[in-house]
Amino acid sequence: MVNELTLWEHFGELRKRLISYFIGFGFILLIISFFAKKIADYLFIPYYKYLPESSLKLAYTGIADVFIFYFKMASVVAFFFSSPWLFCQLWLFIAPALRKNEKKVAIPFIVATSFFLMSGMVFSYFFVLPLTFKFFFELNKDYRNVVTVSSIWNFELTMILAVGLSFETPVLIFLLNRLNVVSTKFLIKNIRWAVLIAFVISAVITPSGDPFTQAIVAVPIVILYLLGVLFSVAFPHRKRKEKDEPQKN
């Protein structure tokens, strides 16, 4: 039987889940803070890979810029490693409103959302960022490089999160189908529009005009869309009966 909660009870449950997540997040953040310098050096590898030899170090314009960067960077890395815990808390929040058969998808939901988000962020770091930096360094070769640590980090962060979230496409497609927002027939019929949208998203995410770099992002999104369609076909939405069977106490 689905327990009905009042509005304040919902807020109380949400508060409980947020506190649980931030305790886990804070613990991971504390550990990562001890390795901030080493992690920062590793994160900037895509930047230094194509950096002209005349520009060896990043600049800073504010006395606290590097400290703030370390804190932001450690927070993002902590978010990366704590994302499974975040999705677990999200599931625990919505689980009381679900039926017994719907709760069976808890583990697949947590694993899938965590896997696709983390895969997208890793993909952006190893493939998208190096190609993007290569394009910009070639474009800017006639100018002096005085990029600041904060600006390059904000650029990397935007790219990594954007690609990471775009990799949640199969989960989004599957949920929309399960919620009966879109049908499997509609998804299959509009694949050509999905391909177009994927390239538009890629063009927004990758600021370079290089078609190859855009394809590096767009093709995985299209594949993930098709994967979401495949999941929708394999696990079709079942319409609930107008009247539920009598429930046992």
pLDDT tens profile 29-45: 999 999 988 888 888 88
Please report whether residue 246 resides in a domain: no
CB-hemisphere CA count at 13 Å for 64?
3
92 and 152 in one domain? yes
The residue from 146, 167, 188 where one domain ends is 167
% residues pLDDT > 90 (the chain)? 20
User: Any idea what the Cα angle at residue 114 is, between residues 30 and 237, rounded to 5°?
Assistant: 150
Please report whether residue 32 resides in a domain: yes
Domain that holds residue 113: 1-167
For position 247, what pLDDT does the model report?
45
Place of tokens 């649980």: 20
Q: Is 142 buried (19+), middle (13-18) or exposed (0-12) by CB count in 10 A?
A: exposed
What pTM, to 2 d.p., does this model score? 0.74
110 and 2 in one domain? yes
Residues 138-157: tens digit of each pLDDT: 888 888 778 888 888 888 88
For position 120, what pLDDT does the model report?
92
> How large is the average pLDDT for residues 172-198?
88
Overall number of domains in the chain: 2
For position 243, what pLDDT does the model report?
41
116 and 45 in one domain? yes
Q: Distance between CA atoms of 1 and 13, rounded to whole angstroms?
A: 18
Please report whether residue 245 resides in a domain: no
**6-10, 71-75, 204-208, range with the lowest pLDDT:** 6-10
The residue from 148, 167, 186 where one domain ends is 167
216 and 95 in one domain? no
For position 245, what pLDDT does the model report?
47
Which residue would you say has higher pLDDT here, 189 or 108? 189
The residue from 109, 140, 167 where one domain ends is 167
26 and 114 in one domain? yes
162 and 179 in one domain? no
140 and 80 in one domain? yes
Q: Distance between CA atoms of 221 and 128, rounded to whole angstroms?
A: 13
Please report whether residue 249 resides in a domain: no
Q: Distance between CA atoms of 171 and 227, rounded to whole angstroms?
A: 9
Residue 248's pLDDT band (boundaries 50, 70, 90)?
Answer: very low
